[in-house]
Amino acid sequence: MAKKRRPQTKAAKPRLADGEIPVVGAREPCPCGSGRRYKACHGRAAAQAVTELVRRPFEGLPGECDWVALRELVPAATVPLKLREELPEDVPSVTLATVLPMAWPALRRDNGAVLLGVQNDTPSGDISRDLADVLRRALTAKPGTPVAAERIPADAPRLQDLLDLDASFVPEVHSGFEFWVEDAGNQSPEVAASLERANSAALPTARLEGVEAAYWCETPEKNHLRWVMPHPEERLLDALARLHAAGSSSLGEGTRLVGSFRAHGLMVPVWDLPSAMGAQECEKPAAAFAERLAEALESTDPLTAEERRARSGFTNRQITLN
C-alpha cells in the first residue's frame, strides 16, 4: 500500500529582528511574522513607550524655562533655531513659533524657510520627539505647505539630538501674529481679517530682560508676572515658603505671590500685580527677588511652623498643567 502523502504546509515567514520591525497600523499584521496584529505584538511595547509621559521634555535644551513659557504662557513669540547639521541649501532658516495658523505643527514658507509651532497637540507623551519629527519632515516639505503631526516610533530622534545645544535661545515676544506671513502689509482682506481676530485674542505679554524666563502679562482686571524657574521643586517650595513667612515674597507694594503651577516638570510662581505696573516696573523688583530667592535656596535649616504653613498653602494652590 502506498504511503499517504503529508499535506504540504506553507513555509514559515522569516522573522525580523526587533530592531528591524517597522511601525505599521495598529490593526495590521505585525511585520515580525507572528501572525498577530501589530497592537498585540511588537506594537504593545511601542505604544506604551510612545504614550508614556516625559516629565521634562525640554530638559537639556538651552533655554528650557523659555521653551516651557512658549509652550504654555506666551501668545506670540519666535526664536531662531540652529541645528547641529547644516541646513539644506533650499532652507534659509528655521524658526520656532508659539503657534501657527490653524495650529499647524510646522509650515514651510514659499521661500523655503521653516516655521515650527510649539503650541499644538502632539501624538505621543514626548513633546520633544514629536517636534523633532515634524521639524525633520518640514525641512524636505514642498515650499508653501503645512506639515502635520504623525505617529512616530519611540526611538525617533528628539530635539536634543537635532538642535545645536551651544546656541543661544532668546525669544522675541510679538504684539501680534504678523510673523505668520512674509509680507504682513500686503495681504488679502481675508488674511488681514484672520490676523485681526488672532491679535485681538492675545493678551499683551512681555519678557523681562533682567531675569530669565519671567513674563509679564496684562489682563482686564490686573496684571501678572509668571516666572518659569529651573530649581528642583521641593527646594523651591521651601525657599518660597521662607520668603513668604519673612514677608519678602512680593515684588513691591500692591503685589502678591498668589501661588504657582507646574508645567513640563518645572514650577512657575505667579504674582498678582496692580494694573498700573507694567513690564518695565517689574525689572528692578524681579532682580531683587532673584537675589533673595538665591539666598533662600541655599538655606538648609528646618522650616519653622510659620514657614511650613506657608509651604502648605503654596502646595494646596498649585495646579499642574500637564
**Tens-place pLDDT, residues 16-68:** 555 566 666 666 788 887 878 766 776 665 555 456 889 999 999 999 999 99
Q: Is residue 280 part of a domain?
A: yes
Do residues 228 and 69 make contact, with C-beta atoms less than 8 angstroms apart? yes
Residues 197 and 73 in one domain: yes
Residues 34 and 91 in one domain: no
Predicted confidence (pLDDT) at residue 80 exceeds the cutoff of 80? yes
- Helix and strand numbers, DSSP H then E, in the chain: 8, 12
Q: Is residue 256 part of a domain?
A: yes
Q: Is residue 175 part of a domain?
A: yes
Q: Is residue 75 part of a domain?
A: yes
Question: Which of the pair, 93 or 102, is modelled with greater confidence?
Answer: 93
pLDDT at site 29: 82
pTM above 0.85, yes or no: no
Which has the minimum average pLDDT: 19-33, 119-133, 236-250? 19-33
Residues 131 and 165 in one domain: yes
Predicted confidence (pLDDT) at residue 2 exceeds the cutoff of 60? no
Question: Which of the pair, 233 or 8, is modelled with greater confidence?
Answer: 233
Residues 216 and 154 in one domain: no
Residues 231 and 171 in one domain: no
**Which among 5, 126, 111, 2 is positioned nearest to 59, based on CA atoms?**
126
Q: Is residue 274 part of a domain?
A: yes
Residues 93 and 218 in one domain: no
What is the mean predicted confidence (pLDDT) over 123-152? 95
Residues 241 and 173 in one domain: no
What is the mean predicted confidence (pLDDT) over 192-219? 92
Distances (CA, A) of 112 to 85, 96, 172, 221: 17, 15, 21, 43
- Measured from the Cβ of residue 18, the count of other Cβ atoms closer than 10 Å reads 9
Q: Is residue 17 part of a domain?
A: no
Q: Is residue 13 part of a domain?
A: no
Lookup result for grid cell 504614550: 51
Residues 99 and 47 in one domain: no
Query: For the chain, what is the domain count?
Result: 3
Q: Give the residue numbers spanning the domain of 258.
A: 205-320
Q: Is residue 16 part of a domain?
A: no
Residues 181 and 259 in one domain: no
Residues 155 and 127 in one domain: yes
pLDDT at site 11: 45
Distances (CA, A) of 269 to 101, 168, 213, 278: 30, 24, 11, 18
